[in-house]
Chain A
Amino acid sequence: MERREFFRKSIGAGLAGGLAFFIGRPEKIIGTPYNPDGPLYDLVAVKGGEPELMYEQAIKSLGGIGKFVKKNQTVVVKPNIGWDVTPEKAANTNPKLVAHIIKSCLEAGAKKVYVFDNTCDQWKKCYQNSGIEKAAKNAGAEVVSGNAEGYYHEVKIPKGKKMKKAKVHELVLNSDVFINVPIIKHHSSSDLSLSMKNLMGIVWDRGFWHRNDLHQCIADFSSYCKPTLNIIDGYRIMMKNGPRGVSVEDVNLVKSLIISTDMVAADAAATKIFGSDPEKIDYLRIANEMNIGEINLGKLNINRIKL
């Protein structure tokens, strides 16, 4: 059971992607600089459609899921399944989006797709009431619990300032591809819960993050863990009383989606869609200073798709 460093994986994926571009000879996009060494865009933002359609459009403009998932690879899809509430409360990722991502990975030739989360509420109820377990199983994924400490193994976080080590779920450590699928929502502790915050669900001891400067720990962990792809669900957005929400009145129907390999950029875009300023969110600012990603969206090559 090897432990793989995410740095190696992401560079490898980037190189593989770049190589595929050379071989595949993509069309030149007018007005946008063509970068043969990485994905076509740094970030794709879609709005105005159903989750499945928005995802299809976004992933197509990035060169297709085949750029990120190769034949016979194992994929772990990590949605937000944190809370024992139904999909309309928008505390968990939209099950339709999760199911569609799973299907798309399997169509790309993935050997196995796993789904899990280290939930906050009781895990069986979260998995059930969020609708994600059923949708994921129907789409062909293996749904696994995140609930027992034995699943988590210690890793070192060399760049961490407050967090030097953590216990990470073996599915993330052992899979070839890690797809991070958070939902945009207000969060009472960290202001917003987005892709970097979603990574809290792959570690065992979340209390450590709360005890030792939450924002710094979110940034520290993101210095270690770089998912292959971040797909942020902005279809329904919980605008207040997050992360659990009190009623459906907390939720706005926004119909957006963001995909990026850069968590900081993705989160910055999601923050703006929510209506806040990314520089005001401490963990984003810190992550940008630690060079984990790019907070300034003006510097990035962004594809904006309106449906």
Chain B
Amino acid sequence: MLKKLRVVISLLFFILTGFIFIDLGNWLSSTLVNKIVFLQFFPSLLKFLNILSFFTCGFIIIILITIVFGRVYCSTVCPLGTLQDIISYLSGKFRRFRIYRINSFSLPSNRLRYTILVITFFTIPAGSLVISLLDPYSNFGRIVANLFRPVYISGNDLLAVILERLGWYGLSRIGLKHIDPGSLLFAFFVFVVIAALSVSKGRLFCNTICPAGSFLGLLSRFSLFRFVFDEDSCTRCFRCEGSCKSRCIDSDELTIDMSRCVSCFNCIESCPSGGMIYGIKHKPSKKVHNVDLSRRENIKTGIGVLSLISGLSLSAARDSISGSGINTTVPVRKKYPVTPPGSFGIEYFGKSCTACHLCISRCPTRVLQPSVLEYGIEGIFQPFMDYSASYCNFECTVCGNVCPTGAILPVPADEKKQLQLGKSVFVKENCIVEIKKTECGACSEHCPTKAVQMAPYTGKIKIPVINNIICIGCGACEYACPVKPYKAIYVDGNPVHLVAEKPEVKKTEKKKENGDFPF
């Protein structure tokens, strides 16, 4: 019964936490999204360190729950945990994979997991790269956002086309925009590793790599409610050990390593004789030996380096755009990338963002895209404002409203309209007006503050002129600029966001209405 309850709760969290990344119809408000991610451990911890508010106490609740009940977080709230369980379960249905799964007691990899844990916590003040790469929620987010979302969108569009052929236009097409190969590859790599581990080794990730798991394991070691053998009822059938995903049950010695137990209740479910109990009982835990896993570490590092190298080359590939028609000649070299509105600037953002890609998934204009090297290696996969893909909608504040770690903080719409993310720069040599002497003005057309105006140039045509005091760096000009491959107007990021002045508002003089038609 406890197992069934666990399964239901874990599926609920899994579906909700997954859905926020593929909410194409925008059914969930930002407030609801916040509630769904509230209990995710590392995001909540980071948000607390950033804004020190009562509303970010999700991780404290988890700590308390773990101290009382054990690592139920790992079997219910954590979506990556449930993903592993699902893969495990499905692979069990196929005989081909079943042979890999022989659960039996294994020794803990304490040196590895506590080293990772220490590194993770010590690097928090310096930046979030380690958390970004290891945090289960962020990895889950990247898997859904980069792998599943494009498939989901394609499915939606296919269905939309079918319905349109039948005459119903009610389902709108979404379209795939700018799939980032580096980010996709890394998400795929993580997914393959997680899947392989869960097929053959159960929750190995949770007990060796995952810093949340290792940390909560320190607490669950002393939890109030624990799994213990009822030695009188136990018939030594070994079923519990065989069912344990964490491989922490030693049915020879009748011990359970609570620091690795993820409280999934599989053991109790499997026990035919009531020999396993979950309750408040203390048995002195036997010492378990450490195992040298350096070889495994080296292989993992090697794979990590390889994936980074592939990410590098793919990021280079992304920068070159094929040209057509007249080709502009002056390359655009931005000094700084642009961070989302509400992120204060590159330093604050870089330290707090774990690249879960929730903002990327929910951005209505899809201007937020995963970076590869735009922020350097320490900011890998963190989102940046990609003005070749889109631009920031003038009054939109979605990203700040949903960010789970507080890397992007919520900004009221009025303030956001004056937040200067960057400044626009005009490259006359690339401009159609200069090259072809014909009218264009796409940049000024899209500018929401008219920081880009059209001024008389030669003959009748007009050329862009920028007033950076009112420019908010939203990228509408860069996005709208029609030339290829290099834009004639682009936004260079402000490393620290500034505040633009409000555009001057002049009343329009009303013409004298004399009631006649002018023709």
Contact = CB atoms under 8 A, between A and B. Distances in A.
A250 B508 contact: yes
Given A120-B446, A148-B174, A246-B503, A207 B482 contact: yes
A215 B440 contact: no
Interface stretch (B112-120, B218-226, B330-338, B448-456): B448-456
Interface stretch (B180-188, B280-288, B511-519): B511-519
Given A120-B445, A244-B445, A247-B505, A150 B161 contact: yes
A297 B519 contact: yes
A269 B518 CA distance: 8
A211 B393 contact: no
Contact of A246 (B449, B483, B507): B449
A122 B475 CA distance: 14
Interface residues of A, number: 52
Interface string B480-500: 101100000000000000000
B454 A188 contact: yes
B325 A249 contact: no
Nearest to B511: A275
A279 interface: no
A147 interface: yes
A42 B436 CA distance: 37
A282 B440 CA distance: 13
A161 interface: no
A208 interface: yes
A153 interface: no
A246 B501 CA distance: 13
Interface string B305-326: 0000000000000000000011
B364 A125 contact: yes
Most buried by B among A244, A268, A275, A297: A244
Query: Chain A: interface secondary structure?
Result: mixed
**Size band of the B side of the interface?**
35 or more
B432 A211 contact: yes
B130 to A, nearest CB: 35
Nearest to A306: B515
A282 B517 CA distance: 23
Given A148-B173, A210-B432, A124 B364 contact: yes
Contacts of B515: 48, 306
B387 to A, nearest CB: 14
Contact of B172 (A147, A189, A302): A147
A149 interface: yes
A114 B169 contact: yes
B447 interface: yes
Interface stretch (A7-15, A221-229, A235-243): A235-243
Interface string B450-483: 1001100000101000000000000000001011
A240 B504 CA distance: 13
Contact of A84 (B393, B440, B450, B508): B393
Contacts of B230: none
Contacts of B483: 211
Given A148-B174, A188-B454, A246-B505, A272 B445 contact: no
Given A148-B175, A150-B161, A189 B445 contact: yes
Which of B26, B439, B446, B483 has the most A CB atoms < 10 Å from its CB? Answer: B439
A188 B439 CA distance: 10
Contacts of B395: 84
Contact of A148 (B157, B449, B462, B503): B157
A145 B172 contact: yes
Given A144-B172, A145-B173, 11 more contacts: A84-B393, A120-B480, A121-B365, A121-B393, A122-B396, A190-B439, A207-B442, A210-B480, A215-B438, A246-B505, A272-B519
Interface of A: 45, 47-48, 84, 114, 120-122, 124-125, 142, 144-145, 147-151, 187-190, 207-208, 210-216, 239-241, 243-244, 246-247, 249-252, 268-269, 272-273, 275, 282, 297, 302, 304, 306
Interface of B: 26, 157, 161, 169-170, 172-175, 325-326, 364-365, 393-396, 432, 436, 438-442, 444-450, 453-454, 460, 462, 480, 482-483, 503, 505-508, 510-511, 515, 517-519
